[in-house]
């Protein structure tokens, strides 16, 4: 695989997270651009070359790593694609399906690749649980319970403007909506409810999968500052896999133990690793070798469609169909 260089756009929280993640591939991340005064300091901290203009960055790298607010994704992706640069884009792909389609089409027409960073697929516990489902450990999935609850965004954050961030369904819940589809397949209908009180939001959604499974997904900006909790519970015809972020065991399943060795349940050993580094290395190597992504653009579009269905259901207070993906 030839050595490709990466330019980072964005110096916020996800920009910093990605900059650290690229550390597993020393020397690959070379440039950074952001239209604010933080660029110089950020570049010095991570040993990067700061770019004064976007075109300067596009001229100097092979891959653009896009870590900017969601409303900017379409224009920056289209511009990078037309410059012949591959793109890694933070989730969600876009705010609307029309924007997503424009981004996917621009990359296809320019012959460049688009990877959307749905990082949950790279979290060790979630990846291990998915692999066990694929291996038949729980039989046919029937009821999935997924939860993700954190503190509200800081005061003044652009996330509070839900016309820009998409709110809980697009910013937070989209992780578990994508995971539910990854585990149990396409979704026919979505029904969602929410509770709002004093700046805190909780959303619960029921997904009816076309194979007959049901996913119960909750997400919320509702925890105290500094608290973030996630959980999964995957029940099938032969057993259950469960995990939560407070549990001492990283993942536990109940049902027939896999031989060998014989054991009660099937507790995994400690699972470690940086999922952000793992997703970036995966995307980088897939681009360089031409191999498939674990998250293709169509998967990111489908996750967006689910999030938008949740929002429509909240608005109409009715079950809504999910656009065919």
Domains of the chain: 6-117 (3.40.50.720), 121-271+304-321 (3.30.360.10)
Q: In the structure encoding, which two tokens stand for residue 236, read together?
A: 């099938």
The residue written with tokens 């296809």 in the block is 108
In whole angstroms, what separates CA 100 from the centre of its chain? 15
The dihedral over CA atoms of 255, 260, 266, 267, expressed in degrees to the nearest 10, equals 170
Taking 70 as the pLDDT cut, the residues of the chain under it are: 1, 248-272, 324-325
C-alpha torsion sign, points 184, 186, 188, 191: positive
Q: In the structure encoding, which two tokens stand for residue 300, read together?
A: 């990111």
Q: Which pLDDT does position 15 carry in this prediction?
A: 96
Rounded Cα gap, residues 148 and 70, in angstroms: 20
Q: Which pLDDT does position 36 carry in this prediction?
A: 81
Instruction: Please check whether residue 150 is in contact with residue 185, taking contact to mean a CB–CB distance below 8 angstroms.
Output: no
Rounded Cα gap, residues 56 and 31, in angstroms: 9
C-alpha torsion sign, points 117, 119, 122, 127: negative
Instruction: Please check whether residue 39 is in contact with residue 28, taking contact to mean a CB–CB distance below 8 angstroms.
Output: no
Rounded Cα gap, residues 189 and 209, in angstroms: 7
Q: Which pLDDT does position 262 carry in this prediction?
A: 33
Instruction: Please check whether residue 28 is in contact with residue 86, taking contact to mean a CB–CB distance below 8 angstroms.
Output: no
């Amino acid at each position: 695989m030839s050595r490709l260089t990466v330019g980072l756009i964005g110096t916020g929280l996800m920009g910093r997270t990605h900059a650290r993640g690229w550390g597993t591939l020393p020397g690959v991340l070379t440039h950074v651009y952001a239209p604010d005064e933080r660029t110089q300091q950020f570049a010095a901290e991570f040993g990067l070359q700061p770019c004064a203009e976007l075109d300067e960055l596009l001229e100097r790298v092979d891959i653009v790593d896009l870590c900017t607010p969601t409303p900017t994704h379409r224009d920056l992706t289209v511009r990078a694609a037309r410059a012949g640069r591959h793109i890694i884009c933070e989730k969600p792909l876009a705010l609307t399906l029309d924007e997503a389609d424009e981004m996917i089409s621009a990359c296809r027409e320019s012959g460049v690749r688009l990877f959307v960073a749905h990082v949950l697929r790279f979290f060790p516990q979630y990846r291990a649980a998915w692999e066990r489902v694929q291996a038949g450990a729980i039989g046919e999935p029937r009821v999935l319970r997924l939860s993700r609850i954190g503190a509200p965004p800081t005061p003044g954050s652009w996330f509070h403007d839900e016309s820009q961030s998409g709110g809980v369904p697009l910013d937070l819940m989209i992780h578990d909506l994508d995971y539910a589809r990854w585990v149990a397949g396409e979704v026919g209908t979505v029904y969602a409810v929410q509770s709002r009180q004093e700046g805190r939001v909780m959303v619960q959604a029921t997904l009816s999968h076309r194979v007959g499974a049901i996913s119960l997904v909750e997400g919320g900006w509702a925890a105290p500052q500094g608290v973030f909790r996630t959980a999964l519970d995957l029940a099938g015809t032969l057993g259950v896999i469960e995990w939560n972020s407070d549990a001492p065991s990283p993942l536990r399943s109940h049902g027939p133990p896999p031989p060998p060795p014989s054991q009660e349940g099937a507790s995994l050993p400690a699972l470690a690793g940086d999922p952000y580094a793992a997703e970036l290395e995966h995307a980088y190597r897939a681009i360089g070798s031409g191999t498939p992504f674990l998250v293709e653009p169509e998967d990111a579009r489908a996750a967006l469609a689910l999030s938008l269905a949740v929002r429509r259901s909240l608005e109409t207070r009715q079950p809504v169909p999910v656009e065919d993906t």
